[in-house]
Chains A and B, each alone.
Chain A
Amino acid sequence: MTTSDSGIASDLAPIDLANPDGERIMLGSLWETEPAVLVFLRHYG
C-alpha cells in the first residue's frame, strides 16, 4: 500500500465547508480518528 503524508491531504485538512444545516466542518476532522473516503461529486446524484 502506497501512502503519502503530504500534499493534497494536508492541504485539504484545514479547509472548512458548510453542511446542509449550515454548520462548518473542517475536512481534516473527517479522518482524524479513522480513514475517510472523501468523494468529490460531479453533480448531486
Chain B
Amino acid sequence: MRDYEPEIRGAGGSVAAVGLGDVNYARDFREQTGITFPLLVDEKRMAYKVAELKHASLLHLFRRRNFRARNVAQADGHRQYKMGTDPFQLGGAFVIAPGNTELFAYTSETFGDNAPVSEMLDVLRRYSRISS
C-alpha cells in the first residue's frame, strides 16, 4: 500500500494500516519499510473482529491463486517480513469518510486476494468531487 500512498493522497484521502502482533513487531516493520503512514497494532484482534475479516485454512496455501499471487508479489519486489501472530488471518480494506461513512469495503477471501486499489481511488475521487 505504501506504493500507492501518493495517489491516495492525490485523490483526497489518507492511508493507515492495522496489523496483528505487538508494538515491537510493528516498530521493526516500520523501520525496515520506511512507511510514514500510521501503523497500528491490534494486539487483542478487536478491530479485525469488528471488521468481520476472514480466516484461511491450510487448504488455501495450496491453491493455485496463492502461488500466482506470491510470484507476482516477488516479481514486483515485495517481500514478506514476518508473519503475524495468526498466519491464517486474512486482511481487508475499507475507505471511510467523515461521519463514519463507509465508501468501500473489501474482505479478502484467500491469500493474495487484495483490495483493488483502482476501485479505492475511484471512490475517493468521487467523494472528493461530491464534497467539494
Which of A20, A21, A27, A40 interacts with B53 by CB under 8 Å? Answer: A40
Count how many chain A residues have C-beta atoms less than 8 Å from C-beta atoms of the other chain: 38
Chain A residues positioned under 8 Å from B87 (CB to CB) = 43
Beta-carbon contacts of B7-26 to A below 8 Å, as 1s and 0s?
01000111111111101011
Report B75-115 residues with CB < 8 Å from chain A CB: 78-84, 87, 89-103, 105, 108, 111, 115
Q: Which bracket fits the contact residues of B?
A: 35 or more
A40 touches B18 (CB 8 A): yes
B21 touches A8 (CB 8 A): no
- Of B8, B39, B48, B120, most buried by chain A (CB within 10 Å of CB) is B39
* Chain A minimum-CB-distance residue to B129: A1
A19 touches B41 (CB 8 A): yes
CA distance A9 to B40 in the complex (A): 16
Given contacts A1-B130, A9-B94, A44-B25, contact A39 B1 (CB under 8 A): yes
A19 touches B38 (CB 8 A): yes
B51 adjacent to chain A (CB < 8 Å): yes
B124 touches A5 (CB 8 A): no
**Chain A residues engaging chain B, CB cutoff 8 angstroms:** 1, 3-13, 15, 17-22, 25, 27-28, 30-45
- A sample of 23 cross-chain residue pairs with beta-carbon separation below 8 angstroms, ordered by A number, consists of A6-B100, A12-B51, A13-B100, A19-B23, A19-B38, A20-B26, A20-B29, A20-B30, A20-B41, A31-B97, A34-B12, A34-B14, A34-B97, A34-B98, A35-B12, A35-B14, A36-B13, A37-B16, A38-B95, A40-B18, A40-B53, A44-B25, A44-B82
